[in-house]
Amino acid sequence: MKINRLFDGVLVPKDIERRIGVFDIDADMAQHAYVEVSQVMRGMVVLEATNSFANKRITYTALHPRFDVVEAGHVIPRYAVIASVEIDKGYGPGLLHKVISIDWQKVTS
């Protein structure tokens, strides 16, 4: 029997294996803002990642509790991540970013 469970503080629905989506992250952001990117990807299972050097984007196919259920034979929808961040001056040369909220917006179905 499949039940909801908790993973890394995220409630994982019993139908997680059908909650699949595709999204892009800027490659420079993934390299230089890895703490923020890891917060965006919290609770996610990455199935595939493709790095495009031409457009400097990493395209992910992943499972996530906030993605819609995709029925067998249907096209996997594309999502955009909407992250609200708070910028705070840190010690040293850089700024600290704290992710306040994360939302996933479906852009295709």
Contact 38, 25 (CB under 8 A): no
Contact 80, 105 (CB under 8 A): yes
- Segment holding 87, helix H or strand E: strand 79-89
Q: Give the pLDDT confidence score for residue 61 in this predicted structure.
A: 97
Encode the chain (109 residues) as per-residue pLDDT tens digits.
Answer: 455 565 556 677 888 899 999 999 988 888 777 777 888 888 889 999 999 989 999 999 999 999 999 999 999 999 998 877 666 665 555 555 666 678 889 998 6
pLDDT in tens, 31-59: 777 777 888 888 889 999 999 989 999 99
| Helix, strand, coil abundance in the chain, percent, nearest 5 | 15, 50, 35
Supply 51's token pair. 């790095």
